[in-house]
Amino acid sequence: MDAAAGDVVIGEVYHWLSDPAHWSGPDGITVRLTEHVLLTVLSVLIAVAIGLPLALWLGHRGSGGSVAINVTNIGRAVPIVALLALLSMGVFGSADFGPFGRAGLATLVTLSLFALPPIITNTWVGMREVDRGIIEAARGMGMSEAQVARRVEVPLALPLIVSGVRLAVVQVWATATIAALVAGPGLGRIIKHGYDAQRGAEVVAGALVVAVIALALERFFALVQSWATARASGQAARSVGAAA
């Protein structure tokens, strides 16, 4: 494709996106977008529900460090395409799963697994990086272990915990696109359909929707993270003040 063809594609992309017919119907952008959002939100929630307490507990005790660190390295080495193909051909099957669409259950499980590593690693590291002096001071003031964790460690670890959730959300949003390559639902289906039909405009339009929302998610969580950081430094000052 030469540069001139590229120009044509951009115009076609706008044309494709502004056609209401492409937004409605069972294969429209609206349905795919809903699947994509549902999958991302639920799988990150599942990963937080499992990973957060585990990593908070391990981080508070200071054990399980090699597991907490290596889980990220392992996650990176496993191709999402492979895991999803194996799960949808094996235990979970490719059947429709409510509003989550085709192979919804296999996709949900795969994405939850992919959301776990950043949450576990960041939470664990965040808990370990809390100043030991502050924790000792809190214990010295007679706080129980649960109080130390809840009132001192978690607030101070919050910026890294939020950064883990941010990574998980962005990664899952991105990964959910790839699900369509194999069997799954989501916005990737529009891109895949475009490739199969050799329609460049549809490919680029689908990609554009995914990319714009990915960047928006990233910006949103960056704001949450800076809020958490500001809060943590205030907390640190208070903790040190209380300890002094």
Q: Does 59 bind other proteins (CB under 8 A)?
A: no
Indicate the residue among 50 and 214 with the shorter CB distance to other proteins.
Answer: 214
Residue 14 contacts other proteins per CB under 8 A: no
For other proteins, the closer CB: 90 or 142: 90
The residues in 105-164 that bind other proteins, with binding defined as CB under 8 A, are none
Question: Alpha-carbon distance 104 to 123, whole Å?
Answer: 28
> Closest CB to other proteins among 139 and 193?
193
Q: Should residue 39 be labelled a site residue for other proteins when binding is judged by CB under 8 A?
A: no
How far is the C-alpha of 187 from the C-alpha of 139, rounded, in Å? Answer: 50
Contact between 77 and other proteins per CB under 8 A:
yes
Give the residue, chosen from 208, 224, 236, 243, that forms a contact with other proteins under the rule CB under 8 A. 208
With respect to other proteins, which residue has the nearer C-beta, 76 or 238?
76
Contact residue for other proteins among 56, 108, 162, 210 (CB under 8 A): 210
Instruction: By CB under 8 A, name the binding residues for other proteins.
Output: 1, 5-6, 9-10, 66, 69-70, 73, 76-83, 85-86, 88-89, 170, 173-175, 177-178, 180-183, 188, 191-192, 194-195, 200, 203-204, 206-208, 210-211, 214-215, 217-218
